[in-house]
Homo-oligomer: A and B are copies of this chain.
């Protein structure tokens, strides 16, 4: 293996989100890795509800099969990790989910983890997922911005709300590390760390790091 190829799939059909996901990958370009960030064009226009998460799986599975020959590791680039376990059955390359990877990474950083969700509707779905993962005890709280994915276009507003939520997680719930519970906000990571005085895990970066670990430990 000369250069390992990491394929990141945005399970929703918004190319803007795919572009933002690509931003998360930039720091890793020092590594002998080739990154491809793909949009699952058959997916829903954003994933907030469980139904949208479920609806994204079938088109993403098609994309995985199509890219399997030229991929050394896949990343499902949506915090709910739609279809993660099924996709692992589908292809032989490692498949990482950004939600799972972000929690596992945060677990190596501090005891109490706070999660910032975009939408309140996502919180019970994430809770079920943390429980299925067997890590719910490590999440001290998950709070939402109560902003729509579309509102995130106003990055300053998003950042201000995120910082407020982050501080509440820190002060009222004891969070020692924060997870951004959504793809595509890597550009805000450093500012959020400064605002809250806590390390922040950006989920796509967490998944890329774990994918790199998988391909380079062979």
Residues of A within 8 A of B (CB): 27-28, 30-32, 49-55, 57-58, 61, 83, 85-90, 94, 96-97, 100-101, 104-105, 107-112, 123-125, 127-129, 131-138, 174, 176, 202, 205-206, 208-210, 212-214, 216-218
Contact = CB atoms under 8 A, between A and B. Distances in A.
A27 to B, nearest CB: 6
A216 B125 contact: no
Contacts of A129: 132
Contact of A136 (B55, B133, B137): B137
Given A50-B85, A97-B108, A111-B128, 16 more contacts: A27-B216, A30-B32, A30-B216, A51-B90, A53-B86, A55-B61, A94-B109, A108-B210, A110-B124, A112-B124, A131-B137, A202-B217, A205-B213, A209-B210, A209-B216, A212-B216
Nearest to A82: B54
Nearest to A3: B30
Give the one of A50, A108, A111 with max B CB within 10 A. Answer: A108
A54 B110 contact: no
B138 A134 contact: yes
A9 to B, nearest CB: 15
A30 to B, nearest CB: 6
Contacts of A49: 86, 89
A127 B111 contact: yes
Contacts of A55: 57-58, 61, 86
